[in-house]
Amino acid sequence: MFATATLILRDRGRAEDAVQEGLLRAWRDMRSLRDPQRLDAWLRRLIVNACYDESRRQRRHEANIRLLPDHDRPTPDASGALANRDALDRGLHGLSIDHRAVIVHHYFLGLSLPEIADALGIPVGTAKS
């Protein structure tokens, strides 16, 4: 959950806040979970919604979403990995939080498009686009 929030928000502190908020919502709204077999998808959706809320809250104070701090980047001797990470950071930085959530779920969490659509509460066609 934390990794998902960090990839979506690109900031560890904000990701911690979003995960905490999502888990608080889960605790508060546990009775609304209709199918216990879907707990993972339900929690993921709460965390993603908390990421959206955190992003909206942050936009009131900043114009841009920040990249991860340098101390979280790979060591300098892994120059190829560093170049790839920088390119990935720049690419993700340019996306809206909605698009970033789909990318993170597909390429980082390995979910299929129908699973992403279900987790994010969007139509499959929207996840594809």
At 105-129, the pLDDT tens digits run 888 888 888 888 888 888 889 888 8
DSSP-derived letter for residue 40 is: H
- Taking the whole predicted model, whether its pTM rises above 0.85 is answered as no
Which residue do the tokens 């991860």 mark?
68
The Cα 113–Cα 73 span in angstroms is 29
Query: Over the stretch 6-34, which tens digit does the pLDDT of each residue have?
Result: 888 888 999 999 999 999 999 999 988 88
- DSSP classification of residue 105: I
Residue for token digits 């390429």?
107
